[in-house]
Structure formats: structure tokens, C-alpha cells
Structure 1
């Protein structure tokens, strides 16, 4: 009996040892495969097909730094991108300030990794701009004393990007509310009133991307639209005035891709311009090892990446990030986005 018990014990140990070896020693189990892959989620704006080379360049920096496979998760809705990062289904994601603060509120493990700087190479001018625009043909209806004004946007069909968009919703609604709340009629105006027709606007549309919101305007679906200036290098060109100055006129480029292929040459006038903090490349710090976090941060903030024309596109080239002076990725803390939180 003792001999039989010993044989059974040895058999059990052999099975256990073999199982452990196959699950953790050969690196081929499902869990280990997941660890060997890093998923980057992209907002609808950056999921556009004509930005695939730009996405691939950023993925390549991450892959070389970690030695791991990098896959993209493309989206058609801001909330999908935010939830992917919150849940850890994606480890990294390029977000706007509003989307980032929303994600961080839902899961404190979501924190910023890097942000693209301004021309100075620092956080000092790490800004882009939110526009409220109208079709050029209608611009005269929105002028006061020869200058553009948002006074007459009440009762119009309005297009925003998404309720989770910083420059396509949070910033423009904040500006609209601040402007109109000085009038007794609108002193109780709230963000919620901006989200549906019949409260302030006759109709409210959401383009689900900055491209979509601009297209809503140029196709005549909306009278007024909010979207960001960062669309300019890829889709628009300046006709008159100066970029990011009110009353400037821009038109759709002849080589613009979807959704502007049938809108080439269409012009719009910018009524208002508001600076916005650049959004971060954020990470879910629980689903990304500390070792990989450091490797990725070091690689993205390196001089090599700053000088990589596939990551920071030179003037005249299409890309998610444009090269402007000493622009590069720099480290950023969560507290830097308190200015976005203060909007609420």
C-alpha cells in the first residue's frame, strides 16, 4: 500500500509540474500572449484611414522600446475609446483633455504618460485651438461692428463633436455659456442645455469626430459647428486672415480625404478661437508593467522621436502630430489637466 501511495504521489507531482511548465515556462499560454501585446486605442479623429502611417510610426516607437507587438484599436465613438482604456482592454490611448479627465475619474489607474509640446519644446505652449465656425456664405449674419460674434447662434442648428470632446464640446459650450449668461434670459444656461435642441439651439448634432462636425457644417446639416484647428494640415488651407484668428477664412484642401472628398473647395469662417491644453497619450498603469511604462516614456520623449518626421510631420505633410519649432513629447502630470476639470 505504501508503494502504491508513493507511485500515485509521484504521478500527481508529475502532472502538476508539467501543467505549471506549460502555463508559465514556455511563454505560449493565453496570459503570456496578452502580456506580449500592447493595444493602443485611438479616438475617431485619429482613426481616419489617411492617418494610418502616422499611427504606425508611433506604434513602431512603442514596439521597438518594449520588444512587444503593438496593435491598434480604431473607434467611431469617443466613449468606446475611453472605456477601452478605463477597462484595461487597451493599455495606451491618445485622448483629449476632457476624455482623459473623464477616464481618470472612472479609474484612477488611467494617468497621462506624455503630451506633445508646443514650439518651445515645453508645456508652456502645449496648446491647440477650439473653433466655432460658420459657412463663409453666411458669415455676414454673424458680424457685429465688422467683427465676428456668436451673438446670433441662438436658435441655429449646431454641430458638436462628442460630449466627451474637449475642443469639440467642453470648451465651446463653456465659452457660449460664459458669453450668454450675462443676459438675464440666459443666466441659468447649463451644459445640458447645449446637448439637445429646443433649449438654446433649434437642433444639436454630434459629428462623432472633428472631421464629422466640420462636414456637418459644410454639407449644410448644421448652421454652426465646433471643431479643432488641428484638422488644418490634413484637410484645410487658409484663404484669408491668419490661422487661429477670428474672422479667418479656410477652405477644404483639394487632396482632403473622407469625409471631405465631395466638399473640396468649400469655405468657412471662424467666429471664435479658444486655446485648449493638448491631450495626453494616457495609459492604464495597472495593465502596463512599470518596466514597459518607463521604456515607452523614455522612447517617446527621446530626441530620436522628436526628430522622426513620420511621428512629427513636417509642414505640408499629413500626420497626427505636426512639427513646429522644437515640438516633441514631454512628460506630464495628472494635475496639469486641472484646468479642464475647472470647466465643470
Structure 2
């Protein structure tokens, strides 16, 4: 999408389109620029291509001192590409808006914001993150978690297992969470327990939102909820302690939640986009891999097809009554 077309959307339209995502914040911007000698020696992007590159790194609860870690990745990419690279920290909404307004070229995004980035900025995911604690390499499980003392049992099929939740108190993660809301509600709709996201209180005795994985799980530990829904990797530190984990068990799991990925704005010329992707893939190499691991505990980046990777979340959103 051209710059002029993006700005025709207008700030107001963008805010409306982003309704349901968290309030946007951008903070702690630092530029990590290769020194002039290194820049002169490094391979240059084409003269008509990018002169600088801005990447948004979203803050996540399992990453600390993120600005320093993002700066290190920015410095690495600056050396690889031969241009200044700015590393900015912001939430998913701010990242999408920055892509739309041409204030950023690249952003690490989770699946639903990636759909928004496509809608508002015509950006697309080109890479996905791999983690050791993802069941599907670059997909993971959404899980229903109960207390070890719960009388709820895992049955031989989804319907038999989930029908036990009627009248129970549930703690979702947040209304925008893929694994902590969208995919679990999608499963409930598929099984015929609720017609859409608006009728959850007709099935559950109480519906609450923890706000994050830790608080949703702790609601079960403290007896404030009968069941919580989170990502499978939330069953480990830093989300919960080993002691808390020992008090919980997985009742039911939903596979195929798309992993977070890296989106690139459509205004980035094709030849530059390929150079950026190839530079990012060098983070998989053993001598560079710790830079990637430091960010979000990812072990590898892999190429993905945007439409195929995001199809499950697009379908889930449509089924439960949320506009992608």
C-alpha cells in the first residue's frame, strides 16, 4: 500500500479498527547505528532502497530489559545491512499503528495484531518464531487448566470434557488473547456450547479475565476460578512458580495456535525485504543465536506463508463473532 493510501485511512479510522487491542504505548526508543567505518565497509542496500530501518519489539511479560536486548539485535542488523537500525519498544497496537503511518518498517507481532497490520498497512508476516516449549514448532497449544483437586476429568472427546464446564467459574486471559480467549471460545462454539463470544455467561457460572497468563492461572490456584485458559508455555516460570504448577493440571488442549512472527511493511522494496529476511535468518546461526534467544526465548526463525500461518486465527475470529 502506498504512503498516501495509508494516510487516507486517518488516525480515527485506525483507532476504530484497532478497538479491542491494548492501549498503544511506545517508549524507550534508542537508535543502534553501525559506526561510519563499519557502515562504509558493510554491504549497502540499493541506492533507491531503504536508508534506515525501524523495528518495533513488543513488550512481553517473559522478557526483561528488552530495550537493551533489542538494541543488540538492531546493532547486528545494522552491521549486516549497512544502514542505521532503530529498535523501538511498544505494545502490539503501537506497532500496527507505526506500520500504518510509515513510522516503522518491521515489527514482531502476535497473530491477531498481524491480521490488523495486514488490514491497515498491507504488511505481511514473513517469519515465525520457534520455541522449545511450543508443541508444534511454530504453533502451540491453548490449554484449559484446573486444580489438581478438581473433580473435572479429561474425557475421551472434546464435547464430553468441555460440557463439564457448564456453570463453572472461568478465568480467561484477556478478550484479545489468542490462546487465552479466541481459540478456547472458538472450541466452545464449535462444540455447540455457546453461539458466540457474547453468550459466554449463558454457559459459565462466572466469566472473569485475569489480564495476563499468570493472574488467570493464579485465580485457579487461589480457588477464585474453576478453570483458566492460557498458552501451554505459561505453565512454566516466569509465568508461575514450580510450586504453583504442582497445584495445576491440563484438562484439555487445543493445538495449532499460530506462533508470533515478524511482519514487514509493504512499502519496503522487494529486494530490501529479502535482504532484511536473510539478515534476520542469520540470527539462527550458532554465533548469533543468543541475540535471538535473549529477546523472547525463541530458538529459531522460520519462513512462513502469511495466509496459511494466520488462517486458524482468522477462522476462529470469524466463528466467535469478532472482526479480524
Smaller-chain TM-score bracket: 0.5 to 0.7
Instruction: Show the 5 A alignment for 1:120-139.
Output: 125-138=137-150
Q: Distance in 1 between matches of 2:185 and 2:302?
A: 29
Judge conservation of contact 1:54–1:310 (CA < 8 Å) in 2. Answer: no
Judge conservation of contact 1:130–1:226 (CA < 8 Å) in 2. Answer: yes
Judge conservation of contact 1:43–1:94 (CA < 8 Å) in 2. Answer: no
- 1:305 corresponds to: 284
Judge conservation of contact 2:124–2:265 (CA < 8 Å) in 1. Answer: yes
- 1:92 corresponds to: 106
Pairwise CA distance, 1:41: 3.6
- 2:161 corresponds to: 149
Backbone CA RMSD of aligned residues: 3.6
Judge conservation of contact 1:44–1:209 (CA < 8 Å) in 2. Answer: no
Judge conservation of contact 1:133–1:268 (CA < 8 Å) in 2. Answer: yes
- 1:40 corresponds to: 56
Judge conservation of contact 1:169–1:226 (CA < 8 Å) in 2. Answer: yes
Q: Distance in 2 between matches of 1:265 and 1:221?
A: 16
2:301 to 306, 321, 329: 329
Judge conservation of contact 1:61–1:300 (CA < 8 Å) in 2. Answer: no
Question: Are 1:190 and 2:171 an aligned pair?
Answer: no
Question: Are 1:285 and 2:266 an aligned pair?
Answer: yes
Judge conservation of contact 2:173–2:210 (CA < 8 Å) in 1. Answer: yes
Q: Distance in 1 between matches of 2:205 and 2:263?
A: 36
Say which SS state the counterpart of residue 313 (structure 2) adopts. helix
User: Scaled by the length of structure 1, what TM-score is found?
Assistant: 0.62
Pairwise CA distance, 1:42: 0.7
Q: Distance in 1 between matches of 2:185 and 2:178?
A: 10
Over alpha carbons, which structure has the higher Rg? 1
Judge conservation of contact 2:173–2:213 (CA < 8 Å) in 1. Answer: yes
Judge conservation of contact 1:252–1:264 (CA < 8 Å) in 2. Answer: yes
Judge conservation of contact 1:135–1:217 (CA < 8 Å) in 2. Answer: yes
Unmatched tracts of structure 2, length 5 or more: 1-49, 319-324
Q: Distance in 1 between matches of 2:113 and 2:56?
A: 15
1:228 to 226, 231, 256: 231
1:206-255 deviation digits (Å, cap 9, x = unpaired): 3343344334433444332111123356437xxxxxxxxxxxxxx723xx
- 1:74 corresponds to: 90
- 2:216 corresponds to: 213
Unmatched tracts of structure 1, length 5 or more: 1-33, 237-250, 254-262
Q: Residues 217 and 312 of structure 1: is their aligned pair in 2 closer, same or farther, counting only changes over 3 Å?
A: farther
1:273 to 253, 262, 280: 253
Pairwise CA distance, 1:298: 0.7
Pairwise CA distance, 1:37: 5.5
Instruction: Show the 5 A alignment for 1:10-89.
Output: 36=52, 38-42=54-58, 44-45=60-61, 48-49=63-64, 55=70, 58-66=73-81, 67-75=83-91, 79-89=93-103
Q: Residues 299 and 213 of structure 1: is their aligned pair in 2 closer, same or farther, counting only changes over 3 Å?
A: farther
Judge conservation of contact 1:41–1:90 (CA < 8 Å) in 2. Answer: no
